[in-house]
Amino acid sequence: MSLHDTFSPLRTLDKSEDWWRGAVIYQIYPRSYQDSNGDGIGDLRGIAQRLPYVASLGVDGIWISPFFTSPMKDFGYDVSDYCDVDPMFGTLADFDLLVDTAHKLGLKVMIDLVLSHTSDQHPWFAESRASRDNDKANWYVWSEPKPDGTPPNNWLSIFGGSGWQWDARREQYYLHNFLTSQPDLNFHEPQVQEALLDVARFWLHRGVDGFRLDTINFYIHDAQLRDNPPLPKEQRNASIAPSVNPYNHQEHLYDKNQPENLEFLRKLRAVMKPFKAAAVGEVGDAQRGLEILGQYTKGDDMVNMCYAFEFLAADQPTAQRITEVFAKVDEVAGDGWACWAFSNHDVVRHATRWGLNPQAQRLMVTLLMCLRGSACIYQGEELGLSEAELRFEELQDPYGIEFWPEFKGRDGCRTPMVWEGNVINGGFSQAMPWLPVSSEHMMNAVSVQEEDPGALLHHYRRAVAMRHHFGALKTGELTGMAASGDVLSFTRRDGEAEIFCAFNLSDTPSELKMPEGDWVPIGEELGSGHPSADGKLHFGPWQVSLARRA
């Protein structure tokens, strides 16, 4: 009997207020999960059809990237109607079906709220730009030009160029931290905050269990519009924007990360509490991400959890780097709650980004399931999918088109899910998909791995099952984290229960002495090694060792 069989997937919906703490959330990019109507684009009904598979992974819930009405200049992250479904993805009735199906399978549903900006096609912006004295004139960030006609300050867009766009109707500039077609909302206007809280209420009443909050630290800008100072070259970090982007040349003191944001987050948490809903915030900051995580998740009146980009960075995390990250978390976010991810829809898949072989991929998900915090798994990583290679003419992502070829954009991690290894387009769609299905992915399809007991897919199931079986791994404290060469070790503890975790993060054999005491090995089906007679752990390449105190 396998570990997955012993620790079966969740079958009933967790109705506790703290369901999110230590939860494993499976991210779905709707355009690329399952096409149900033959137009080459994934949709909500397609997701609903595949939810039994998601439930079989043993995860606690799903996070669905945006499906709202949108002109799709940034593929749904440019919203033109917060309270409706884009026809490309279906209808509100389809969404209701999805939620009902998920809940019957014991899965929570979190949706991606993009509150910092809208599409320029949103009726709010159409009214705001019409004049300087209409009811929504102050709903976006407008500013006079400098006397010479140039933008009001030096703020830059993540997608390249100035963060300001001239509008001839008002003869003013408006702020856009992303595309020019994504104007930033003015959170200094109370009516804007209330309108966005109403959006959250709409979806909560529709049955969602929480939100992933896009660019959570971008909501509020410096009201004085002060220039950002330059960032010394040695401090630049390309985890948020590619190194070829001048966005990395500034210290972003004033265009985001403003203290007034805390009060809005309290209001949002108050809206969610009666529904026992939870939110995970995306903290986009290369220098102070963990500090902001600590601020935003401290106490029970802020955001439930946040993730920063420490483990979404280009460099593979070493044992020493992981200890540094967790030491910083203890220092600046000890009262908060982190959510960890290795891949998502914005970064190169970690199998490729870190050059991981199959053994290393197994170790990394086992490590993820042992770390303190909640965890996100991005669709397809459980299959070991690599970053897809696309030609320039196949690109859809404006980010990649802007910075090609030094930065190829985000399409390589957004290609369709592969379900059947011997079916056209991997079973994603009978039509030409919006992005090509990678031929290399076909051999890793779900149908292929389901038939192979040694496949990575089953390892993911076992790792998730182990996390749920041992409360110490899900919500216990983490102590004694240390790096001994390439070996990372720590202890998870919940009351009397204690689990020792050790990971050889290299392809070189290594060894480590076990802590004193009587330990019972666990996780044999995850490749966990046993201590030898001398009390030492002898690791093969990319091997783990897990044990519980007797």
Q: Using DSSP bridges, classify how beta strands 61-64 and 108-113 pair: parallel, antiparallel or unpaired.
A: parallel
- In the chain, the percentage of residues whose pLDDT exceeds 90 is 93
Could you give phi then psi for residue 118, rounded to 5 degrees? -120, 180
Stretch 150-178: mean pLDDT: 97
Residues 402 and 496 in one domain: no
Can you give the C-alpha Rg of the chain in angstroms? 23
pLDDT digits (tens, 9 = 90+) for 90-114: 999 999 999 999 999 999 999 999 9
167 belongs to the catalytic site = no
Please state, in angstroms and rounded to a whole number, the distance separating the CA atoms of residues 184 and 302: 23
253 in a structural domain: yes
Residue 181 is assigned to a structural domain of this protein = no
Alpha-carbon gap, residue 203 to 199, rounded angstroms: 7
**Contact between residue 207 and residue 109 where contact means Cβ atoms under 8 Å apart:** yes
- Mean pLDDT score, 216-233: 97
Please report, for the domain that includes residue 449, its CATH number: 3.20.20.80
Range 290-294 average pLDDT: 97
- Of 3, 109, 21, which Cα lies nearest the Cα of 471? 21
Mean pLDDT of the region 486-504: 97
Q: What are phi and psi of 396, to 5 degrees?
A: -115, -25
Segment 392-406, tens digit of pLDDT: 999 999 999 999 999
pLDDT digits (tens, 9 = 90+) for 121-138: 999 999 999 999 999 999
Across the chain, mean pLDDT equals 95
Residue with tokens 């407008």: 142
Q: How far apart are CA 381 and CA 368, in angstroms?
A: 13
Contacts of residue 130, defined as CB under 8 A and 6 or more positions apart, other chains included, come to 169
Secondary structure element (H or E) that encloses residue 181, with its range: none
Q: Which residue has the tokens 């971008």?
A: 218
Measured in degrees and rounded to the nearest 5, phi and psi for residue 90 equal 125, -140
For Cα atoms 427, 431, 436, give the angle at the middle one, nearest 5 degrees: 75
**pLDDT surpassing 90 at residue 30:** yes
Of 449, 467, 485, which residue sits at a domain end?
A: 467
Q: Are residues 418 and 445 in the same domain?
A: yes
Q: Is the pLDDT of residue 514 over 80?
A: yes
Residue 262 has pLDDT above 90, yes or no: yes
Does a structural domain hold residue 174? no
pTM for the full predicted model: 0.96
Short-list 298, 296, 295, 328, CA closest to 311: 328
Q: Say yes or no to pLDDT of 6 above 50.
A: no
Tokens 């999805």 appear where? 98
Give pLDDT, residue 531: 86
CATH of residue 530's domain is 2.60.40.1180
My answer on whether 358 and 432 are in the same domain is yes
- Burial class, 209, CB count within 10 angstroms (exposed 0-12 / middle 13-18 / buried 19+): buried
List pLDDT tens digits, range 471-483.
999 999 999 999 9
Whether 520 is covered by a domain: the verdict is yes
- Considering the domain boundaries, does residue 127 fall inside one? no
The reply to whether 127 belongs to the active site is no
What single letter denotes the amino acid at residue 505? L
d(CA 319, CA 503): 8
Packing angle, helices 92-104 and 44-56, rounded to 10? 10
Tell me how many degrees the CA angle 377-280-107 measures, rounded to the nearest 5: 55
Other beta carbons less than 10 A from residue 87's beta carbon = 9
Domain-ending residue, one of 467, 497, 519: 467
| Number of domains the chain is built from | 2
Q: Which of 214, 381, 382, 486 is catalytic?
A: 214
pLDDT bin (cut points 50, 70, 90) of residue 9 is low
Average pLDDT (346-357) is 97
For residue 124, being part of any structural domain is answered with no
**pLDDT band with cut points at 50, 70 and 90 for residue 26:** very high
- 350 and 432 both lie in a single domain: yes
Q: Which of 35, 43, 86, 282 is catalytic?
A: 282
Any residues with CB less than 8 A from the CB of 223 and at least 6 apart, and which?
188
Same domain, 357 and 497: no
Average pLDDT (512-533) is 92
Model pLDDT, residue 308: 87
Q: What's residue 11's pLDDT?
A: 67
Domain assignment present for 310: yes
Shared domain check, 515 and 452: no
422 and 487 assigned to the same domain: no
- The pLDDT assigned to 238 comes to 74
Its domain, for residue 497, covers 477-549
Closest by CA to 343, choosing from 381, 310, 308, 291, is: 381
Report the Cα 163 to chain-centroid distance in Å: 24
Given 436, 467, 498, which residue is the final one in a domain?
Answer: 467
pLDDT value of position 538: 95
Mean pLDDT of all residues in 416-434 = 97
256 and 375 together in one domain: yes
Q: Is the pLDDT assigned to residue 340 strictly greater than 50?
A: yes
